[in-house]
Amino acid sequence: MRLLPIGPDLAGDLWLAHQDDDVARWYAGRWSRDEAERAAAAMGRAWHDDGVHKWLAYARDSGELVGRGGLSYAEVDGRRRLEVGWAVRSPHQGRGYATEIGRAGLAHAFGELAATEVVAFTERHNHRSRAVMRRLAMTYVGEIRRPGLLPGRPGVHDDAPFALYAAGPQPTP
């Protein structure tokens, strides 16, 4: 897998990643070109300002776009924390790519960034993403509430339950 930092130059591929049905389902719908361009620009700024943000992932053999993921800073339970995440386009799921993206994120965090903690969180009912967290040997910390999806209900809800996992020294939820 090849991991490239997302910036304005990769807005087209970021848009493509968010056209996948399964990715769109967990990111509250398909992104428009405009949304993808704005997100890519913001990610480019974050790479510049914070030295880290999400990557796009490409298969090494075919060069195909696998998905997105990696690290970014997020406000989690009132604190700015380093978060690791993943989203893999449907045809590439079930092959360990998300775990590989997560492992690369953790290695970067605890290596180059000398982080002491990395968290991951997902809607309580996103079992496939929680399985990646477990595969990465991240520890379940507890439940948090933030804007997100509820099972069987359309739209984004302010107070959705999320499962919080951590790697490194154990944080309080």
Ligand X SMILES: CC(C)(COP(=O)(O)OP(=O)(O)OC[C@H]1O[C@@H](n2cnc3c(N)ncnc32)[C@H](O)[C@@H]1OP(=O)(O)O)[C@@H](O)C(=O)NCCC(=O)NCCS
Q: Does 125 bind ligand X (CB under 6 A)?
A: no
Given candidates 98, 118, 119, 166, which one binds ligand X under the rule CB under 6 A?
98
Is 7 or 83 the residue whose CB approaches ligand X more closely? Answer: 83
| C-alpha to C-alpha distance for 152 and 54, rounded to whole angstroms | 29
Is 26 or 58 the residue whose CB approaches ligand X more closely? Answer: 26
* Residues sharing a CB contact under 8 Å with residue 68, sequence separation 6 or more, in sequence order: 6, 14, 17, 54, 55, 56, 57, 86, 87
Is 40 or 98 the residue whose CB approaches ligand X more closely? Answer: 98
Is 72 or 122 the residue whose CB approaches ligand X more closely? Answer: 122
Structure letter (DSSP) for residue 13 = H
Strands 118-123 and 139-150: unpaired
Given candidates 23, 65, 149, 164, which one binds ligand X under the rule CB under 6 A?
23
- In the complex, the smallest distance separating the C-beta of residue 67 from ligand X, rounded to whole angstroms, is 6
Residue 164 Ramachandran class (φ > 0 left, ψ -120 to 50 alpha, else beta):
beta
Handedness of CA 28, 123, 14, 131 (dihedral sign): negative
Among positions 134-173, residues that touch ligand X (CB under 6 A) are: 135
Q: Does 86 bind ligand X (CB under 6 A)?
A: yes
Q: Which residues bind ligand X (CB under 6 A)?
A: 22-23, 26, 85-88, 93-99, 122, 126, 128-129, 132, 135
